[in-house]
Amino acid sequence: MALPSYTTPGQRIWHYSYLSFCAAVLFFLVAPLIAVIPLSFTAEPYLQFTEGMLALDPDAFSLRWYEGLFGMCGDIDSSTSVMCTDKWMVGTKNSFIIAIFATLISTTLGTLAALGLSSPHMPFSRPLMALMISPMIVPLIITASGLFFFFAKYNLVATLPGIVLAHAILGIPFVVITVTASLAGFDNNLLRAAANLGGPPITNFFRIQVPMIAPGVISGGLFAFITSFDEVVIVLFIGGPDQYTLPRQMWSGIRQEISPTILAAATILVILSILLLGSLEALRRRSEKLRGMSPG
């Protein structure tokens, strides 16, 4: 966007210096991702750019690590076969299953909590809000330790339901925050008008309020899904030795043997995160349009 003609030289210098600083920070954050993606296509079992890759030699690139990730181990030699196991596919499947169920639970409970906390008749709403978002503030290892000792009393440790519930607890704060932000711009006069016209409360909620806050609910659900899918600390504490997720398999692979298979999995996670964040941005713009705001 071009600067107005009346800007002073000092303002122009400040504007372009600010843009340059933001570009440098963005490059610093994105540079590791830029290096990971091409390295995942290397033909060699090393985490470095070979001379052939730098020369753009087609023989220096290969899909062998993606084949190992998906269990197609035909081109993987014996020296790296340890990284080609069904644990990658099992971990990916488990990650999706856990993330989906955790997202459903956290979205439902988080939306209900946000509706209650946004009510003007709710006592102690601020302390309760601080308690609800505490999993985002407390160090994750402390949360994982507390969940381990609590779940151990109910035999939920080393079980799939225990992992799902633990991930749901981590996702609830994101849903509460996004839904609360959506409710802040909701006009309660719409519900009063619907009630005056004879609409029952449940019908008014699902036909008037839910469509208006749907972008916030979906955004919170996507945040909860990303949090669950990328989580490894909770799985290490709550999960059993045979309950693998994709992040846990990546962590185990780093401990045992560093292989480009990990980079292939990281590339897929990056692409998935970009798609989800793009969806969040689209939902944000739709929410602003529903509120009569122009997306900034």
Walk me through the domains of the chain, giving residue ranges and CATH numbers: 9-83 (no CATH), 87-256 (1.10.3720.10)
3-state helix, strand, coil in the chain (%, to 5): 75, 0, 25
Mean pLDDT of 126-149: 87
What are the residues whose beta carbons fall under 8 Å from the beta carbon of 191, sequence distance 6 or more?
204, 205, 208, 209
Give tens-digit pLDDT for 139-176: 888 989 999 999 999 888 888 899 999 999 999 999 99
Give tens-digit pLDDT for 214-236: 888 888 898 899 889 888 899 98
Three-class DSSP labels, 89-158: HHHHHHHHHHHHHHHHHHHHHHHHHHHHHCCCCCCCHHHHHHHHCHHHHCCHHHHHHHHHHHHHHCCCCC
> Taking a C-beta distance cutoff of 8 angstroms, is the pair 170, 143 a contact?
yes
42 φ/ψ angles, rounded to the nearest 5 degrees: -70, 150
Greater model confidence, 7 or 76: 7
What value, to the nearest 5°, has the Cα angle with vertex 8 and ends 3 and 11? 70
Q: What percent of the chain has pLDDT over 90?
A: 16
The pLDDT value given to residue 82: 45
The pLDDT value given to residue 78: 45
d(CA 132, CA 142): 16
pLDDT band at 41 (very low <50, low <70, confident <90, very high): confident
Give tens-digit pLDDT for 66-102: 887 776 655 444 444 445 557 778 888 889 999 999 9
**Res 295 pLDDT > 50:** no
61: which DSSP letter? B
d(CA 128, CA 180): 13
Give tens-digit pLDDT for 239-262: 887 788 888 888 877 776 677 888
